[in-house]
């Protein structure tokens, strides 16, 4: 079996797999914590949290994100890159809506994305590449060869 080196932020994200929203009026306090990574605001787990999750992961890795709950704000963060394991991928969901996560794996027409708020949980899901708006990578020499 071949092993692959993954960026440190992807290891952090991977350790969060399985965190999920609490049905009904309760809140998963971990998801509330993800929201606090975006401007320090505590929000319930029913508020879209894909961007909050990615911000939290980078904060845990010592990297500043765009500090926004908006998925499309990631299009202006870091530097542009292509599809590669660990890259931030931003998807269009129509109008102002978007989705953001990390590239986990890929095949010819799909990406496997590790992200938050995917089926109301941190999970790995398949997305078509025709919805991709862009790929981003942390800026700076430290991350150039990761």
Cα separation, 22 vs 31, in Å, equals 10
pLDDT band at 39 (very low <50, low <70, confident <90, very high): confident
- Model pTM score: 0.93
| More confidently predicted of 121 and 26 | 121
pLDDT surpassing 60 at residue 83: yes
Looking at domain 8-139, its CATH superfamily turns out to be endopeptidase domain like (from Nostoc punctiforme) (3.90.1720.10)
In the block, tokens 């092993």 appear at: 3
Among residues 146, 121, 144, 135, which one has the least CA distance to residue 45?
121
| Mean pLDDT of the 77-104 span | 94
pLDDT surpassing 90 at residue 144: no
| More confidently predicted of 36 and 40 | 36
Percent of residues, the chain, with pLDDT higher than 90: 77
To the nearest whole number, what is the mean pLDDT of the chain? 92
The neighbour count for residue 132, using CB atoms within 10 Å, is 15
Cα separation, 100 vs 116, in Å, equals 8
Token code pair at residue 122: 């941190």
**What's the pLDDT score for residue 44?**
82
pLDDT band at 33 (very low <50, low <70, confident <90, very high): very high
Show the DSSP H helices in the chain as ranges.
8-14, 29-36, 50-60
Q: Using CA of residue 59, residue 83, residue 101, residue 72, what is the dihedral sign?
A: positive
**What's the pLDDT score for residue 1?**
44
pLDDT band at 20 (very low <50, low <70, confident <90, very high): very high
Cα separation, 51 vs 115, in Å, equals 9
**What's the pLDDT score for residue 2?**
52
**Residue 46, φ and ψ in degrees, nearest 5:** -80, -15
Percent of residues, the chain, with pLDDT higher than 70: 96
């Amino acid at each position: 079996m071949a092993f692959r080196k993954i960026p440190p932020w992807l290891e952090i994200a991977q350790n969060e797999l399985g965190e999920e929203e609490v049905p009904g009026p309760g809140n998963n306090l971990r998801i509330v914590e993800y929201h606090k990574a975006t401007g320090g605001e505590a929000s319930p787990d029913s508020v879209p949290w894909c961007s909050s999750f990615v911000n939290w992961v980078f904060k845990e890795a010592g990297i500043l994100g765009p500090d926004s709950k908006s998925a499309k704000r990631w299009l202006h963060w870091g530097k542009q890159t292509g599809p590669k394991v660990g890259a931030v991928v931003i998807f269009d969901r129509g109008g102002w809506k978007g989705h953001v996560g990390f590239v986990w794996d890929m095949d010819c027409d799909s990406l496997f994305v590790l992200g938050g708020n995917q089926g109301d949980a941190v999970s790995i899901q398949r997305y078509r590449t025709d919805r991709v708006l862009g790929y981003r990578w942390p800026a700076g020499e430290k991350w150039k060869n990761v």
